[in-house]
Structure 1
């Protein structure tokens, strides 16, 4: 079989858009929650879900980017609602962590997602991997421990909620495989977002009122003094949607495996870009720890691919 080495420009464009939206939303959220001083991560996530709901409807029902997949039953509805709750928790914790820790450290912790995925896959669905695959997770965890010890801006609460966000993201992917495993219930990521985003809003709106009671009035008052806050929130929310859209398009243009490899590289790019923009202090030990984590993730991906074929 002859391999075609030519990569279409459309694929390159989609990958660049995916990198830009991923890194852009991280940097924008960090700027808003930390540098700008907008200390409302739950409301920020609510804005994200609101825009994702509108954009998803336009993309699927108006622009026909993908065909609409209807829900088959009440049971499927409640399964997706369950996923939405876990998804909300993950995104809120991820946004909250950016108030306390730099993007570079956030990405180092986020790289441990395969560890938590393997953990939940084993304990929830009894899915076992080869022992070599589990062995590759040791450098993943060791790297984050080293990075934590060498992180000049280490914040315990920020670290804990970032780990919680990473664990919840992994739990959602395992739960998604279990809950939507039958052929009749499978949804592509764009349709899943179409249903999850409004459900997430129903969870986040009361949570916002409870945890960030005066946020609407504070934001309106802030907008009177500085209208840019509205544009910042719109930009952050739009980027949050485009992360999901470009993720879907990259998978469509390449493969799930390529997406995983590109995702590993994206984390490293995000670290470099965030350090250049925010100029947060770094240490050689911290960078070595993060490098070890990335190497572990790459080894994990390779061994998982190899042993799944055998």
Structure 2
């Protein structure tokens, strides 16, 4: 039984790694190499898949028990989280149009910094001084990586920073808004309610800001039907990221997920460089390495602080 359990856990972790890195690389391929320059519509496809597949997984397959929304106030809170979650995904997808995956991951590694800032601003929660010191190499590493990045793009960098900050804000807000026992939702049920909110926001936004995107996508599909399969597979992967993230946490621990996440970023960087062959500098890699070391130290300091 123990061997079977280990094989199952290893399989889950492999699926989590594959889906995370896969959706990141496929996003980059579609938005940059393939020429499908519609990040908002791409995010709309992701959120639509998350809405449909969440419904199937929870209501039909009973992957997790269904949790209901108990009040209008709770719905407003969840909708707010859905909007912020949506902005973080859109920002991340936009940044991939302009930045290589390696640099995108370096900037994304600064999430703990923004989480600590928002936690202090919104809850006045202070960490130990050692925890704050560990954030110095996190930020310094990104500054060094930015200076040494051959493919640096200011707008892409701003979008990536915005996406990272929005992701951290959503995490902190989730703890604040859904803090009471009656309002807490597991991540899969939260996605079930957040994704349709994101779809409702993204559809008109894509139609307005990415003019005739539906017609262009249909025209692309007539010339190359693979675009439809790319979008369907990519959207399914986006849901699988959330599902495997939940299952890995459930079958291991949040700390294990954090450690695996740090390693995943490094794996994604190496794989993306091998596939897309984007130029990298020694300075950039040193900066990213410093950021990862800072994140590991931050995680260790947080663990000891508890």
| C-alpha separation in 1, matches of 2:305 and 2:4 | 29
Matched, 1:41 2:75: no
Choose which of 248, 258, 261 in structure 2 pairs with 1:260: 258
| Superposition map of 1:59-208 within 5 A | 59-208=57-206
Q: Deviations over 1:67-101 (max 9, x none)?
A: 10000100000000000110111000000000000
| C-alpha separation in 2, matches of 1:185 and 1:33 | 38
| C-alpha separation in 1, matches of 2:5 and 2:283 | 37
Choose which of 9, 12, 33 in structure 1 pairs with 2:10: 12
| C-alpha separation in 1, matches of 2:282 and 2:55 | 46
| C-alpha separation in 2, matches of 1:188 and 1:213 | 37
> Which runs of structure 1 show a deviation greater than 3 angstroms over 4 or more consecutive aligned residues?
4-7
Which residue does the alignment assign to 1:217?
215
Deviation at 1:5, TM superposition (A): 11
Structure 2 counterpart SS, 1:107: helix
Judging changes above 3 Å, is the alpha-carbon distance between structure 1 residues 115 and 6 closer, same or farther for their aligned structure 2 residues? farther
Aligned residues: 305
Matched, 1:51 2:49: yes
Judging changes above 3 Å, is the alpha-carbon distance between structure 1 residues 6 and 299 closer, same or farther for their aligned structure 2 residues? farther
Deviation at 1:14, TM superposition (A): 0.3
| C-alpha separation in 2, matches of 1:242 and 1:20 | 10
Deviates more, 1:203-212 or 1:11-20: 203-212
Deviation at 1:124, TM superposition (A): 1.0
Deviation at 1:209, TM superposition (A): 1.3
Which residue does the alignment assign to 2:301?
303
Deviation at 1:35, TM superposition (A): 0.3
Judging changes above 3 Å, is the alpha-carbon distance between structure 1 residues 7 and 142 closer, same or farther for their aligned structure 2 residues? farther
| C-alpha separation in 1, matches of 2:240 and 2:127 | 33
| C-alpha separation in 2, matches of 1:82 and 1:51 | 20
**Tell me, which stretches of 5 or more residues in structure 2 are unaligned?**
none
| C-alpha separation in 1, matches of 2:178 and 2:117 | 20
| C-alpha separation in 2, matches of 1:216 and 1:203 | 16
Deviation at 1:213, TM superposition (A): 2.1
Deviation at 1:197, TM superposition (A): 0.5
Which residue does the alignment assign to 2:23?
25
Choose which of 231, 234, 251 in structure 1 pairs with 2:232: 234
Deviation at 1:16, TM superposition (A): 0.4
CA RMSD of aligned residues (A): 1.1
Choose which of 283, 286, 306 in structure 2 pairs with 1:285: 283
**Tell me, which stretches of 5 or more residues in structure 1 are unaligned?**
none
| C-alpha separation in 2, matches of 1:279 and 1:187 | 41
TM-score of the aligned structures, taking structure 1 as reference length: 0.97
TM-score of the aligned structures, taking structure 2 as reference length: 0.98
